[in-house]
Amino acid sequence: MTNKIPRIVVVGSINLDLVVKSSRLPRIGETIHGTSFQKIPGGKGANQAVAAARLGADVTMIGRVGDDDFGAMLRQSLQEQSVNIDRVMSTSSTVSGIALIGVADDGANTITIIAGANGCLTPADVEANSNLIGTADALIVQLETPLPTVLHAVKLARHRGILTILDPAPAPDKHSSPWIEELFPSVDVVSPNQSEAELLTGVAVTDIDSARSAAKLIKQMGTRHVVMKLGELGALVCQADQSMEVISAPKVKVVDTTAAGDAFTAALTVALVEGKGFIDATRFACAAGSLACTRFGAQPAMPSRFEVDREMKLEQSDDR
């Protein structure tokens, strides 16, 4: 393992999360009373950038915000979290990305995203930063920005021999996504959660056996490795040699699961760049994802390196 500082580039979404808390999530057609409202910086790309920075990585974000007040707020927030924003562009006459999030008292959530400026991120934007990507240790992408842009980024990184991590959210339905055949073979690691794995494969992931079945199908789409996030069950690692192992997650009191997957993806990337094997890297990622569940919000919930390392030591000693 190396002591180098990971250099990570994130190409992805930058949103402002408009978060409503309530005792439970409303049913379809139902109106309920909320208990609080907050504006919190989010977006899967920005969340993962912040998470990686808090874990000690040197992170540059490539993305777009609008030329509105939200855009200025989002740029400032990323900068305050030690994320390099030199490649975050403002888009004229366009609103910044927004996520409407409902969070129940038990931590369950629903999320609706409005792309805004995220939808204006182009392959040309990525190409303009090809030298930056080519000198990185890893590239993280998601699916909240246009597919041609994501494809261009991962292909560029693959051509340069850069580790590529795809968090396939929001996941497309397997029957309407022929482009998967082009995207997945250019990605080293695909890391879906249970619902995303189901949308990608048609397999309802409800337990370890069904997770194994879904992981095999995702692997057949061309990616080298699959690391599936299974919530309180932990994570399933399916490596290039077809070997599979389940990694348990620390038991925590869940407050909000909104960005737990983003903490996981960032931590997995940081650990892999640092030289950890897939099993140890996934243990590290499970610790980061679990800690993110103990706090409210997206970016404010991202744990520090000290916190994750401490959690890992507690897990190893079972001293709780």
Residues with catalytic roles = 262
d(CA 222, CA 252): 35
d(CA 49, CA 32): 34
Give Rg (Cα) of the chain: 18
CB 38 within 8 A of CB 19: yes
d(CA 184, CA 308): 30
d(CA 8, CA 83): 10
Assign 67 to helix, strand or coil.
coil
User: Is 109 exposed, middle or buried (CB count within 10 Å of its CB: 0-12, 13-18, 19+)?
Assistant: middle
Assign 41 to helix, strand or coil.
strand
Do β-strands 189-190 and 225-229 pair in parallel, antiparallel, or remain unpaired? parallel
CB 169 within 8 A of CB 142: yes
d(CA 259, CA 25): 17
Phi, psi at 301, each rounded to 5°: -90, -5
How is residue 154 written in tokens?
């991962």
